[in-house]
Amino acid sequence: MLSQSKLAIIGMGHVGCALAHHLTIENLCGELVLINRRSEKAWAEAEDLKHSLGFSENRMRIYAGDYQDCSDADIVVLSVAAPYKEGNTRLDMLEKATDIVQEIVPQVMASGFSGIFIVITNPVDAITYLVHKLSGLPSHRVIGTGTSLDSARLRYFLADTMQVDPRSVEAMCLGEHGDSQMIPWSQVTVGAKRFQQILHDNPERLKGVDIKEVQQEISQIAYQVVRAKGATDYGIAAVAARMINAIVRDGNIVMPASVMLNGEYDESDVYAGIPAVITRNGIKELVTYHLEASEVKAFKQSVKVLKDVNAKMLATLK
């Protein structure tokens, strides 16, 4: 039952706080534990969230806790973050993020946790792979947010360009949540019509749309936001909350996620962003597209980036 769901968020920075607020507004669990290296920060955020319930029918139990409180959690969200430095890519955060995750995950597992990990921490594909390795949990119960936010950005961009509701757009980014990600344009539709056909049929209306520039914009927009405000939080909190919704409400929702590939596109032993069906048990199945040859090549190039990063990461583990 929804009222019995217990969630723990580890890392109460911009993203963790935005996610906690989102979960509270949507009343997505019965018990929410906030965990942070500075325990007073977790306490303050929990108190502030509880005060927001003063005029609400929401009766969630919200409190600051520690890793032992993960023992009976249904979901543990990793939203810890390595400090961002100007000019860095997500992959440049790998070393610091690896150190942080190596410290946290064993303590969570020592509590007796046997639920589902959702990983937001960047570089998310590599860190999700690491969490899987450190936790010993089956891969379908360790899920990264992957290209979900990139896909949300793409849907919004195309909807704004076409002047339609974003729910009328089906578009997903694949591969790395980072600079090597790719857009399978052959699969993008607006109102069930392929976007490539829309471009062909409406050359004047869409003459300002350059597919290569769109891909560049989607992959780089996060850096612009971070430079201007210090972090991206609302978007990633929204997509993480949707993922949590799919789990606690057994939604069978199809959305992009960083998942373990087991032969899809002839790739395996790597976490990468592709669409997946998410249920109360985690990843139910993966959705594979019939991609064009050039798209398969682009996806495999992105996966190679991730495999190289994973090899580098595993070689440095303590």
Confidence of residue 203 (pLDDT cuts 50, 70, 90): confident
Q: pLDDT at residue 2 above 90?
A: no
Binding residues: 15, 36, 41, 67, 90, 120-125, 145, 150-153, 232
Look at residue 116 in the predicted model and tell me its pLDDT.
98
Binding residues for NAD(+): 15, 36, 41, 67, 120-122, 145
- High-pLDDT (> 70) share of the chain, %: 97
Q: What amino acid positions are annotated as catalytic residues?
A: 177
Confidence of residue 231 (pLDDT cuts 50, 70, 90): confident
Look at residue 84 in the predicted model and tell me its pLDDT.
63
Coarse DSSP helix, strand, coil percentages of the chain, rounded to the nearest 5 percent: 50, 20, 30
Average pLDDT over residues 224-236: 88
Render pLDDT for 56-112 as a digit per residue (tens, 0 to 9). Answer: 889 999 999 999 999 999 999 999 987 666 666 667 788 899 999 999 999 999 999
Q: pLDDT at residue 181 above 60?
A: yes
Average pLDDT over residues 37-54: 96
Architecture of domain 2-144: 3-Layer(aba) Sandwich (3.40)
Please give the Cα distance from 96 to 114 (Å, whole number): 26
Strand arrangement of the beta sheet that strand 189-190 belongs to:
169-170, 189-190, 193-194
Strands (E), the chain: 6-10, 31-35, 61-64, 75-78, 116-119, 142-144, 169-170, 189-190, 193-194, 253-262, 268-279, 282-286
Please give the Cα distance from 270 to 238 (Å, whole number): 25
Please give the Cα distance from 274 to 42 (Å, whole number): 33
CA dihedral 121, 122, 128, 131 (to 10 degrees): -60
Architecture of domain 148-315: Alpha-Beta Complex (3.90)
Give residue limits of the domains in the chain.
2-144, 148-315
